[in-house]
Amino acid sequence: MFSAGCFFIRRLPRRTILLAMTHFLMYPLAMQTNLRPISYSQELNQEQLNAVINGDGPCLVLAGAGSGKTRTILYRVAHLLERGEDPSSILLLTFTNKAAREMRERVESRLGTVAHGLWAGTFHSIAHRILRGSAAACGYSSAFTILDQEDSRSLLKAILKDASFDVTSRRFPSPAVLQDVISFCKNTVQPMEKVLEERYPHLEDRLTEITEVRRLYEERKRASQAMDFDDLLGNWLTLIHHPEIGVAMSARFRHILVDEYQDTNALQANIVSGLARTHRNAFVVGDDAQSIYSFRGADIKNILRFPEEWPDAKVHKLLTNYRSTPDILDLANASLSQNRAQFQKDLIGLLPRGKKPIVGSFGTAHQEARFIAEQVLRLRNEGAALAGMAVLFRSSAHSHILEMELMKRDIPYDYRGGVRFFGRAHIKDVLACLRVIQNPRDESAWLRLLQMQQGIGATMAARIAAMTREVGTIGEVLEGGNSLALPDRARGGMESCLAMIRTANAESDPSRIVRAIIKSTYADYLEREFPDWRERMDDLEQLAVFAEGYKDANSFLGDIALFDDAIGSSRGASPNDERMVLSTVHQAKGLEWDTVFVMHLMESAFPSRYAMDDDAQMEEERRLFYVAVTRARRNLYLTYSATRAGEGLSFAPPSIFLQELPPYLTERIEVRDSFGSGFSRPPERESRWDGDDFYQEKTIRIDGYGNAPRQERAATKTVFKSTMKKLPPNS
């Protein structure tokens, strides 16, 4: 795409090129001189001061968690303005418009003036602004339109419909998957072959067709004078590399500041390098220890290789942490020390020491959830605010048992990181299948199942669903379904739907029914339709685990319906109501709470089982753990269950991230089952630390209701004060 863009620009009239260059050079705006003076030495610590004052030239600021990264950036901008730099020569790139807006407002507030002309925004918003003035140089009119995600999928859908692709075949990707593939290629600047091999191996046999879809997609966009979000960056880079337009642009921006540089992809890093080629003032701020978005195309190599790309680069480290207690930071430092691909640094805490992080081992996931809920209640009873507490997890699939536990205790919470577990589309799909099996006259469930099938639209689905109203049993549906008078295309979809129901109907208890659906044609549907189909399959396995507590499907469906109703009624509560937070770790980045629970820390859960055989992915999983623990200000709980539910009960070794920790950094508790019978230790695995240390003699062993033998309480400090109800006598 880049080479094609350059070829196009070379053919442009000289006048068009000069007009584009003029766009960048004609409107510098002077900064007001009556600025409010700043005492940098008093308002910044020494680390921040060094970065702000000595930030000319290529400069990498390694800002550890809670070290004042945002403060350093905004004071750097203020310093540039204070010393007389033209605001229009400063470009501040962030990953959210909100962050850019807040930084700009804080700079202006501190200086007591308005920074007219300052460029601040996301990569995409800045690209859009630039291209509006220079679109002609890329073959677009200034009135080009921007396609959002839905628009892009609609265009791809139209291309598939118009072209001669066999979209009805089992593994032909949906528009959403095609969109994800094409976008990943552009942002990582990788060929299609490599992306399919490494990220979408199940689509490698579709290389020729996907390549053709991409070609048609690019043609359609250009013909309609439309750009998608990736085109904004791609066309910006094309302009940057042009020998005349690019030089003018680079000359205009004397200072480029980039926030969260560890989250940049290859395309964004190339943009920064190209813009900084004239004045070489690239001030990039980030933390390699918080690089956790490779699934979006972010590349940690951008920040790790910055000193190599710019051999004369200054490297400033912000290591003073203002957020967490030293006890939490010691744990975070110890964990991250296991990674090889990193800049060596240890966070230093300014807060006084507090409680050691607690590692809790539980017999089951239900005990783990109950413990968290009871600790939340205890802390609230002691005066802690619910809004100051959060429970973090690796995957949204890990939250459902805890959600039920919080609902039982009327603990209000906000869910971040997507839709609540039982509200997710794929969960509702499987529940609809169960509903049809239990009640073949359930029209809404039929409509949901039928509209998933290829060849069946809303109208045909409504027609078929109407036919089911007169059917008595699911057996009659299965026997007569194939004889319905349907068009050939719809018949294929109906047969697929019936095959899924037939597979599920062969089982009796709800957990087996759910797993049967997972193994049916529905798995092919998820793989074809969704880029994140693996995560969705994990969700469904967790649904099956949850269903293991039920003997029949009716009680299972009833409880879920009541749970959804309770959730729905709670949404009407005042937005000022105090709530704790449930969140995936990815969604929690940049946030902080007084108390943080990191749950489900078992192997194949956190770290993810998809990362176990890849060193680079394991290091990213460890960085994700680091991000999780550094969200805590005062109290940190790390929990896991020693058994894993599934098709048969199995031991679940604690996460390698827990086993790597020196034993003196944490207090540990072990919860027995409800009747005090205890459970066997998980199998040992090789660790940096002696295996027995993880289950050391200082561990407090308590039952599922918070009871610990008196002698054990006397032998060590009490690190766990439970509010759980005690077992009644002789129970």
Helix H segments across 548-669? 553-570, 585-588, 615-629, 656-659
Helix (H) / strand (E) containing 671? strand 667-671
Active-site residue (options: 47, 86, 231, 259): 259
Provide the sign of the torsion angle of the four alpha carbons 489, 490, 491, 495, taken in this order: positive
Cis, peptide link before residue 87, omega less than 30° from 0: no
**Half-sphere exposure at residue 11, Cβ-oriented, CA atoms within 13 angstroms:** 8
Q: What is the DSSP letter of 419?
A: S
Q: Could you give the angle at the alpha carbon of 286 between the alpha carbons of 598 and 57, nearest 5°?
A: 170
> Do the Cβ atoms of 140 and 223 come closer than 8 Å?
no
Active-site residue (options: 48, 69, 268, 287): 69
Q: What is the DSSP letter of 296?
A: G
- Mind giving me the DSSP string for 5-30? HHHHHHTS-HHHHHHHHHHHHS---P
Q: Could you give the angle at the alpha carbon of 427 between the alpha carbons of 424 and 432, nearest 5°?
A: 120
> Do the Cβ atoms of 251 and 88 come closer than 8 Å?
no
Tell me the two tokens of residue 185: 């290629």
Asked about 290 being catalytic, the answer comes back as yes
Asked about 726 being catalytic, the answer comes back as no
Helix (H) / strand (E) containing 91? strand 90-94
Asked about 521 being catalytic, the answer comes back as no
Q: Tell me the C-alpha distance between 118 and 32, whole Å.
A: 13
One-letter amino acid identity for 164? S
Strands 119-122 and 320-321: unpaired
Asked about 70 being catalytic, the answer comes back as yes
Active-site residue (options: 179, 238, 264, 290): 290
One-letter amino acid identity for 527? E
Active-site residue (options: 47, 209, 260, 403): 260
389: left (phi over 0), alpha (psi -120 to 50) or beta: beta
Tell me the two tokens of residue 78: 């203020």
Q: Tell me the C-alpha distance between 56 and 63, whole Å.
A: 17
Q: Tell me the C-alpha distance between 691 and 654, whole Å.
A: 11
Q: Tell me the C-alpha distance between 461 and 447, whole Å.
A: 6
Tell me the two tokens of residue 178: 């095609």
**Half-sphere exposure at residue 173, Cβ-oriented, CA atoms within 13 angstroms:** 29
Strands 90-94 and 314-318: unpaired
Q: Which residues of 377-393 are buried (b: 16+ CB within 10 A; e: fewer)?
A: bbbbeeebebebbbbbb
Active-site residue (options: 76, 252, 623, 631): 631
Helix (H) / strand (E) containing 393? strand 389-393
One-letter amino acid identity for 306? F
Strands 413-416 and 314-318: unpaired
Q: Tell me the C-alpha distance between 525 and 528, whole Å.
A: 5
Helix H segments across 481-520? 488-505, 510-518
Q: Tell me the C-alpha distance between 76 and 79, whole Å.
A: 5
Helix H segments across 54-174? 69-82, 97-111, 123-134, 149-162
Q: Which residues are catalytic?
A: 69-70, 259-260, 290, 631
